[in-house]
Amino acid sequence: MKTMFARKRLRVVWVAALLGAGWALAAPGTAQAAGVTVSIACGSEGATNYELCVKASKQWEQKTGNHVRFITTPFSSSGRLALYEQWMAAHANIDVLMTDVFYPGILKKDLVNLTPYFKGEESKFFPAYLKIDTIDGKLLAVPWFAAVGVMYYRKDLLQKYGLKPPKTWAELTADAKLVQAKERAAGHPNFWGYVWQGKAYEGLTCDAVEWLASYGAGAIVAPDGKVTIDNPRAVAALTMARNWIGTISPRGVLSSEEPQTLQVFYAGNALFLRNWPYVWSVVQKPASPLKGKVGIIPIPKGPGADGRHAGAIGGWSLAVSKYGQHRKAAISLVKYLTSYEVERMRFLDGALMPTRLALYKDPKVLAKEPVMKIFYRAILSASPRPSAQTGAKYNRVSSIFYTDVHQMLLGEMTPQATVRTIAARLNALSDHGKHW
């Protein structure tokens, strides 16, 4: 505990020193003039996000005469948030932050209200994302790229075995078993039916929220704040996932984030992969061994009349920190990076889904990437994580949820005990759903 605390402090000091070094020459107050250096924590999420962030920021440098400094950040959303919280506590001099859909509720006191600067331009963005980024009437971040959980599958292999893309989890499980057995028998011993994100982190929350929603089991906490996870459909959904481990999914998924699961699929060792839209640009690259062999379907439905397709809503926005020295330039950079042209380039080059609605009807985009329609449909029926109703406590809600679901997947707790434990913890955290 003591060491952890000491390490944390050291890191804050280190970060502050690192940032201070770069800004020593920029006296506060002179910040708004052209030729300032704006720092941005973007990228790392998505295979090409970092390169595309750099590419567009360089264009902005050319247009404005300012400079951009890129700060490297952890890949995982949970790790990134922890780092931002340290920066904010230290009032670190960082101007622009890429924020996940649930960050604004947590960082609200640290972010600049962008409403006065966007002057209605925000009405061109997806309403669902604007809602996520607007807290207490203030636009705290501008939606930058959308994401929704989707299922990738090997078209060539389903064809080889005379199968159609599955619509339900039961079909996916059966197809995965069959193809896995046949491929192994044909001399491919490390072939698996299905890979997904099972490590204890935010990505597992997304996967498990999909299982619950697809079974009609709710979203852990209802919109009115009531804890709803302890229900029989949730038990059935979690049981399904636990039964995949060691049968159609390798135990390795329990320590996998998005990149590791993509690696297995990209290497040709899995039939199905659950992931985000940007993966499309990776598997379709000219050098990809999977080019032309991959299809996309919505997240399968659970059983019965309540079963539905439900990809989790993901995505990232750009926010301006209150503690950066170059607010005006930072806002200008955010405006440029979220412009129509830049969002189009990011979709065409990196399958990073636009947040501007008009791009979903852009003829150039549709002609070049017909998958846009699949992503669009998936996002319209997507399921949010319970971040709106749990606000600043969302991160604790999610970590209780993914920690216990992970234990269950490891076989250390039954699905029944898992939903009870999660419900008890969340009720304790919120005074039985009354105070979030």
319 binds ligand GLC (CB under 6 A): no
Q: Does 149 sit near ligand GLC (CB under 6 A)? A: no
Count of residues of this chain found to bind ligand GLC when the rule CB under 6 A is applied? 13
Q: Under a CB-based contact definition with an 8 Å cutoff, are residues 135 and 108 in contact?
A: yes
48: helix, strand or coil: coil
Nearest to 372 by CA among 169, 146, 210: 146
Does residue number 198 form part of the binding site for ligand GLC (CB under 6 A)? Answer: no
Whichever of 101 and 241 has its CB closer to ligand GLC, that residue is 101
Measured CA distances, 161 to 176, 177, 388 (Å): 11, 12, 44
77 binds ligand GLC (CB under 6 A): yes
As measured in angstroms, the least distance from the Cβ of 9 to ligand GLC is 27
Residue with smallest beta-carbon separation from ligand GLC: 314
Which CB sits closer to ligand GLC, 260 or 269? 260
> Looking at beta carbons only, is 314 or 415 nearer to ligand GLC?
314
Provide the token pair at 27. Answer: 């006296």
Query: How far is 77 from 402, CA to CA, in rounded Å?
Result: 13
Stretch that binds ligand GLC, among 80-88, 164-172, 310-318, 376-384 (CB under 6 A): 310-318
| Region near ligand GLC per CB under 6 A, out of 52-60, 126-134, 202-210, 231-239 | 202-210
| Region from 2-10, 247-255, 309-317, 342-350 binding ligand GLC, contact rule CB under 6 A | 309-317
Query: Beta strand 96-100 with 67-70: parallel, antiparallel or unpaired?
Result: unpaired
The smaller minimum CB distance to ligand GLC, of residues 23 and 375, is found at 375
Residue 119 DSSP label? T
**At 314, is the secondary structure helix, strand, or coil?**
strand
Nearer to ligand GLC, 203 or 433 (CB): 203
CA distance 272 to 257: 15
Question: Looking only at Cα atoms, what is the longest distance across the chain?
Answer: 70
Nearer to ligand GLC, 310 or 331 (CB): 310
Of residues 171-190, which lie at the interface with ligand GLC (CB under 6 A)? none
Residue 274 backbone phi and psi in degrees, to 5? -90, 130
Q: Residue 207's CB: how many other CB atoms inside 10 A?
A: 21
Selected from 133, 175, 183, 202, the binder of ligand GLC by CB under 6 A is 202
Kindly indicate which of the ranges 79-87, 201-209, 410-418, 421-429 contains the residues binding ligand GLC, using the contact rule CB under 6 A. Answer: 201-209
Question: Of the candidates 347, 357, 331, which has an alpha carbon nearest to the alpha carbon of residue 280?
Answer: 347
Strands 294-298 and 150-154: antiparallel
> Which positions touch ligand GLC (CB under 6 A)?
45, 77, 100-101, 147, 202-203, 206, 258, 276, 314-316
